[in-house]
Amino acid sequence: MIIILRIVWAWLMLGMTAWIMGSLFDYFLRNKLKPNPKMIFLAMASGPIPWIFVFRSLRHAWVDGRKNPKIPKDLTQCFKFLDKMLSKEDYLTAKKNPEFGIAIHHTFGRTLRNDWGLWSGSKLKDYFNGLGIYHADDMTGIIFTSYHRYLNGEHINLHEQVYYYIDYWEKEHGQGQ
């Protein structure tokens, strides 16, 4: 019985080590930091399982939004991407209804947030961060509102939208995003 408990304990410890090492590599790669050589040695010494997580992290870094040409870099490119992505019916809905972004927030909006790296990191996220917008939901809100205005030939009023979200976070939560 004691041998089984020791095997289970060792297996759990190895799994925890693998998870921790993978998480550390994820952190370093996503923040464009170089891992400490001691950390790499620890991962190697821990056996083959941590390398599964390391390779997963490297794969994430490889397809990172900062290098992906299928992710727009600014609002103008978002409009071009949406022109190509939306069906004729969705295009007309976006043009007619100023609140279409609310209707698609949990469906198409979620797809954009995930695929365009608004949660994980991309040049588009960096663009919005530079404007003072840090929450991915706010980013897609600005994209959809601006797209509707763009389709109707209206002024986008980007600064007005940015200040709306900044003001919201300050009033509701007492701090910035």
Please state the pTM of the whole predicted model.
0.62
Residues 52 and 95 in one domain: no
**Do 112 and 54 share a structural domain?**
no
**Same domain, yes or no: 158 and 100:** yes
Phi and psi, residue 146, nearest 5°: -65, -40
Residues 19 and 82 in one domain: no
In a domain, 163, yes or no: yes
Q: How many structural domains does the chain have?
A: 2
Query: Does residue 81 lie within any of the structural domains?
Result: yes
Residue 54 pLDDT exceeds 70:
no
Task: Specify if 156 maps to a domain.
Answer: yes
Residue 18 and residue 79 in one domain: no
CA distance 34 to 42: 15
pLDDT for residue 171 is more than 60: yes
Average pLDDT for residues 156-169, to the nearest whole number? 94
15 shares a domain with 87: no
Residues 54 and 81 in one domain: no
Which residue has better confidence, 18 or 101? 101
Question: What pLDDT is stored for residue 161 in this prediction?
Answer: 96
86 & 50 share domain: no
pLDDT tens digit sequence for 137-147: 999 999 999 99
Question: What is the secondary structure of the chain as a DSSP string?
Answer: -HHHHHHHHHHHHHHHHHHHHHHHHHHHHHTT-PPPHHHHHHHHHT-SHHHHHHHHHHHHHHT-BTT-TTS-SSHHHHHHHHHHHS-HHHHHHHHH-TTHHHHTTTTHHHHHHHHTTTTT-BHHHHHHHHHT---HHHHHHHHHHHHHHHHTT----HHHHHHHHHHHHHHHHSS--
**Structural domain boundaries, residue 28:** 2-62
pLDDT of residue 37: 57
Same domain, 52 and 104: no
Residue 62: predicted pLDDT: 44
Cα 113 to Cα 16: distance, rounded to the nearest angstrom: 30
State what percent of residues in the chain have pLDDT above 70: 61
* pLDDT classification of 131: cutoffs 50, 70, 90: very high
Mean pLDDT computed over 99-104:
86
Please give the pLDDT value at position 78. 95
Q: Is the Cβ–Cβ distance between 114 and 63 less than 8 Å?
A: no
